[in-house]
Amino acid sequence: MLKISVPATSANLGPGFDSIGLALAMPLTVTLLGPSQDWQVEHPFGAAVPTDERNLIVKTALSLAPDLAPQRLKVTSNIPLARGLGSSSTAIVAGLAVANELSTKPISKNDLLLRATELEGHPDNVAPAILGGLVVATYVDQNVQAVQLPIPELFASVYVPNEELLTSASRKALPVQLPFKQAIAGSSIANTLVAALATQNWSLALTLVEQDRFHEQYRAKLVPALATIRATAHAMGIVGTYLSGAGPTIVTLGTQVDLKNLQAKLKQNTSLTGQYHLLPVDAQGIKVDKS
């Protein structure tokens, strides 16, 4: 039996817009149950998600290896759809991994990353899912460059609103252009954030995570819980809250103890009706079990 696990990802790490992502220990798992006359996918996502060759995992696998024989797949996942935790990214990566494991001509991890980025569009979504941990990546001129940084000695408090926020709607909130001075400020903050992460200066990094100039201020009106959670955290002396991906999920990075206390406080706020998770960083990325 072949089992493939792919971690959730939290992209747009503060000012690391479209470039810094983190793998979180909330996996999507695909179990190959054996050959079938047609592609069959068992999953927990409801009728809106296809269970045949139209499923994103299968479509992605066939894009890499069109001659794959049909299989029965069982998908398990706690990653919520359309919430900014990489649900589509994990499906794409899982599909490529399925094809790679079944193919007679598997591709390298670097090629897998390039193919995943081409399909998804943003390396900070797929690179952590493939490589694990904290990744800084860029996709320019059809080339992907990804650098793994030290694994943060931090946990993630994850607040998932009940309402979906489609990426298309979140993208529409962004400006077409940024003032030059604002772009310079955003770039300098992001560069310093990378330096802080690379040198494991977590206190500075968590401060800079909240100083984005590229997207959060424009999306904040779509995710009112962001200001509420950040203000609550600040009142407790906790910094490191940011909008995960295109939202609406909100992540706060910190120590396990501090984040447990934060979640206990947030749960007292009746306006925050979503789901809470306290997750470690996933250090491995794709996991393949051939037992």
- The DSSP-derived string for 31-89 is EEEEE-SS-EEE-SS-TTS-SSTTSHHHHHHHHH-TTPPPEEEEEEE-PPTTSSS-HHH
Confidence of residue 124 (pLDDT cuts 50, 70, 90): very high
Quote the pTM value.
0.95
Count the Cβ atoms, other than its own, within 10 Å of residue 171.
11
3-state DSSP assignment of residue 288: strand
| 264, 161: one domain | yes
| 51, 161: one domain | no
Per the annotation, does 264 bind a ligand?
no
Residue 44 has pLDDT above 80, yes or no: yes
What are the C-alpha distances in Å from 234 to residues 53, 256, 262? 47, 16, 10
Domain that holds residue 40: 2-150
C-alpha–C-alpha distance, residues 97 and 241, integer Å: 32
CATH of the domain at 77: 3.30.230.10
Q: Residues 148-154: what's their mean pLDDT?
A: 93
Q: What is the pLDDT of residues 58-113, one digit of tens each?
A: 999 999 999 999 999 999 999 998 899 999 999 999 999 999 999 888 899 999 99
| 145, 168: one domain | no
pLDDT value of residue 130: 97
Joined together, the tokens standing for residue 116 give 């995943």
User: Cα angle at 277 between 276 and 283, to 5 degrees?
Assistant: 160
**86 found inside a domain:** yes
Per the annotation, does 247 bind a ligand?
no
Per the annotation, does 167 bind a ligand?
no
C-alpha–C-alpha distance, residues 291 and 281, integer Å: 25
Are the beta carbons of 64 and 115 closer than 8 angstroms? yes
Q: Residues 34-51: what's their mean pLDDT?
A: 94
| 6, 64: one domain | yes
Per the annotation, does 10 bind a ligand?
no
Per the annotation, does 81 bind a ligand?
yes
Per the annotation, does 270 bind a ligand?
no
Per the annotation, does 15 bind a ligand?
no
Residue 1 has pLDDT above 90, yes or no: no
| 31, 128: one domain | yes
Per the annotation, does 254 bind a ligand?
no
Domain boundary among the residues 150, 172, 204 is at 150
**What's the residue count for the chain?**
291
What are the C-alpha distances in Å from 197 to residues 9, 256, 284? 17, 19, 18
C-alpha–C-alpha distance, residues 284 and 197, integer Å: 18
| 178, 244: one domain | yes
Per the annotation, does 213 bind a ligand?
no
Helix H or strand E encompassing 127:
helix 123-131
As to burial, measured by CB atoms within 10 angstroms (0-12 exposed, 13-18 middle, 19+ buried), residue 66 is exposed
pLDDT value of residue 7: 98
Joined together, the tokens standing for residue 175 give 């400006």
Q: What is the pLDDT of residues 204-239, one digit of tens each?
A: 999 999 999 999 999 999 999 999 999 999 999 999
